[in-house]
Amino acid sequence: MQTFRVELGARAYPVHVGVHLLDEVGKLALEAGLHGGRVALVTDANVGPLYFERVADALSTAKFDPIRIQIASGEGSKSLAMVEQLYDRMVEGRLDRNSAVFALGGGVVGDLAGFAAATFLRGLALVQIPTTLTGQVDSALGGKTGVNHRQGKNLIGAFHEPRLIVADVETLTTLGEREFREGLAEVIKYGAIMDATMIDDLERDLPAIMAREPRPMEEIVERSLRHKATVVERDEAESGLRKILNFGHTVGHAIEASSGFGHYLHGEAVAIGMMAAARLSQTYAGLRAVDAERLRALLKMAALPVEMPSQWASENFASALNLDKKRSGSNIEFILIDRIGHALTYKLDSEQIIAELSAD
């Protein structure tokens, strides 16, 4: 097990990455200062049958009394209607201010249960137990919680840091191929924006990671989370530095929104978005063609898509681009890289982005 702390002053919290950790959740939660007693354990229909009992047992052993809430799997559950159902269950279960919410699952469970925790009784303690690669390397850390509005992803949400993250990499062995690979997009992102050596290492280690060998998985999850922690520690509210984490996400979100949520997995859309950002980086930030090519090769090694979808240049795409939260006035704050391992913010408008991506 590897452990480090996310240093956020009075709200600092521990992160544990390793194997067999699901059975330690209760003990780790007590060590992190949580109160025993009534808590909510939220998961989805994919993860529930695999791990619900194990985590519930681990909690009971440590004197927690979990109420179990299982939601439908998939992005469709990230809705205000589903949050309302969680509130109902939390009221029924008589959670009080000392109660905690444990989010056991992927990004959807983490975002949804996190938002419910952020907004029930003006904020309950939250424990993230991510079971997907995307959750473990990205979404569990940093406090972003929320649900979708029909006009756009994550338009409704709040910042609410967890009190503890437990990433058991064994859970990654039960992921489907496509779901596992999408998480690699976020891993590659950290290399692209802040760690050139990580790109070298991934070029060497990706086969072992893709074979789901525990040790390389543990290493890459821990390294990714530490990078994210470094960024979040310096700029929790995303007023500056943290924006670099959006590399690939502005175009990625617009692809997701305009092709109908669910057509691409988030990480797949981000992979395409990173290549779009690399192209814009060549034009506006002097990224060398050979470095864009390295990124492309690595994404392809991870079996991720790298080309814009056919007929992407729709009105829906443009309007999704403009609705993105990273918008400030009429300009879009776009993240570019001038070399591998170094990101910068650049203001572009949607016409510039679309023109560049449309050019031969």
Instruction: Please say whether the beta carbons of 40 and 89 come within 8 A.
Output: yes
For 95, what's the count of Cα atoms within 13 Å in the CB-facing half-sphere? 28
From the list 94, 98, 39, the residue with the least C-alpha distance to 69 is 39
Q: CA-to-CA distance for 134 and 28, rounded, in angstroms? A: 22
The reply to whether 89 sits near a second copy by the rule CB under 8 A is: no
Q: Distance between the two ends of the chain, CA-based, in angstroms?
A: 49
**Could you give the CA distance from residue 217 to residue 172 in angstroms, rounded to a whole number?**
9
For a second copy, the closer of residues 121 and 289 by Cβ is 121
Let me know if 249 is a catalytic residue: yes
| Minimum distance, C-beta of residue 321 to a second copy, in the bound complex (Å) | 13
* Residue of 249, 279, 294, 296 with catalytic role: 249
63 dihedral zone (left: phi>0; alpha: psi -120 to 50; beta): left
Least distance between a second copy and beta carbon 220 (Å): 28
What is the rounded distance in angstroms from the CA atom of residue 215 to the CA atom of residue 170?
A: 10
Pick 181 or 242: Cβ nearer a second copy: 242
Run of H or E residues at 158: strand 152-159
Among 22, 71, 118, 278, binds a second copy (CB under 8 A): 118
Nearest residue to 17 via CA among 196, 229, 325: 229
Q: Could you write out the DSSP letters of every residue in 330-354?
A: TEEEEEEEEETTEEEEEEE-HHHHH
Among 23, 31, 84, 351, binds a second copy (CB under 8 A): 84
Say whether 266 is catalytic. yes
**Catalytic one among 238, 256, 268, 296?**
238
Judged by CB under 8 A, the number of residues near a second copy is 33
Please report how close the Cβ of residue 90 comes to a second copy at its closest, in angstroms: 8
* Catalytic residue from among 153, 223, 242, 294: 242
Q: Does 98 bind a second copy (CB under 8 A)?
A: yes
Binding mask 12-41 toward a second copy (x if CB under 8 A, else -) reads -------------------------x----
Query: What is the contact surface with a second copy in residues (CB under 8 A)?
Result: 37, 80, 84, 87-88, 91, 94, 96-98, 115, 118-123, 144, 146, 149, 151-152, 154-159, 323, 325, 327-329
Catalytic residues: 122, 144, 186, 228, 238, 242, 246, 249, 253, 266
